[in-house]
Structure 1
């Protein structure tokens, strides 16, 4: 049975890397990175809120189609509010598939350090986009606020399974992610 998997975590926590590893090992599953979808919208940086909402709407439709064809969808996305979490949960229920919530957590200082390192040497367009967006919204202080919001979402969603991330430990973190998904 297909699953809708939310992989929530702070920027730089490894969400995209882990989602990419998951789809590499699960043929025809979909890593539905909303930041990638947002980046496909013209002028998104001039209207970050509107483009983010539009990308989420598009992602919901894409996920629904993919789930109904019997394939897993993993959504690597920082969510510091419950609205999109609830939309994903509703989508899973409508498609008759399990909704698995995973949160990647670490020490807040570690999360800030990872994001800063990634910002200075971005490897993908999504990393460059995230850096540009973060620069506009407050830098390191905003990252700490985002992390606190992530923890509040985890607390509000008792079914959320947490995976502790360790910088540079992708293989072991991926094994922990698989255990959490299959728990």
Structure 2
């Protein structure tokens, strides 16, 4: 059975990094990075949220079709709203696939250090600007707390990203691979 592995977590925790590594370790896995897809839309930098919603619907269709082929999808995406999570769960169910939600976590100091040290790309630059406009480090840490609450409410495992290899092994086990 195909699996949609949703890597949720605060900005800077390592969602995209671990998603790329997981996909590389599991050939045929689609890495569906909605933040990267967003950057394919003209004007996305000025309408990050609106573009994200449009692209999220497109990504759901893409993931559903890919899962129907019997292949896995890894999704590095920060989502704190249970209704948004339900959309991804429904997409997996519609494709006859399993949905595995995971919250990635690290010590708050590690999350902030990684966030401030990550490579600057067009996408990370816009995300960093939005984070600063909306509260900076305090926003990131509040989001982390909300994600840990979401994990508890949804019964999701929390995977510590402090040890990359151990985190990858745990993700593979959770995905049944």
What's the TM-score, normalizing by structure 2? 0.91
Displacement after TM superposition at 1:89 (Å):
0.6
How many residue pairs get matched? 177
Question: Hey, what does 2:18 align to over in structure 1?
Answer: 18
* Deviation per residue, 1:8-62 (Å, 9 max, x gap): 1111111111111111122221110110111111112222221111121111011
2:166 & 2:121 partners in 1: Cα distance?
A: 23
What's the TM-score, normalizing by structure 1? 0.89
- Name the stretch that deviates more: 130-139 or 4-13: 130-139
Map 1:103-122 to 2 at 5 A. 103-118=103-118, 122=119
Map 1:30-179 to 2 at 5 A. 30-118=30-118, 122-158=119-155, 160-166=156-162, 169-179=163-173
RMSD of the alignment, in Å? 1.7
Displacement after TM superposition at 1:152 (Å):
2.1
Structure 1 unaligned runs (5+)? none
Contact 1:163 1:180 in 2 (8 A): no
Which consecutive aligned stretches of 4+ in structure 1 deviate over 4 angstroms post-superposition? none
What secondary structure sits across from 1:66 in the alignment? Answer: helix
Structure 2 unaligned runs (5+)? none
1:6 & 1:155 partners in 2: Cα distance?
A: 16
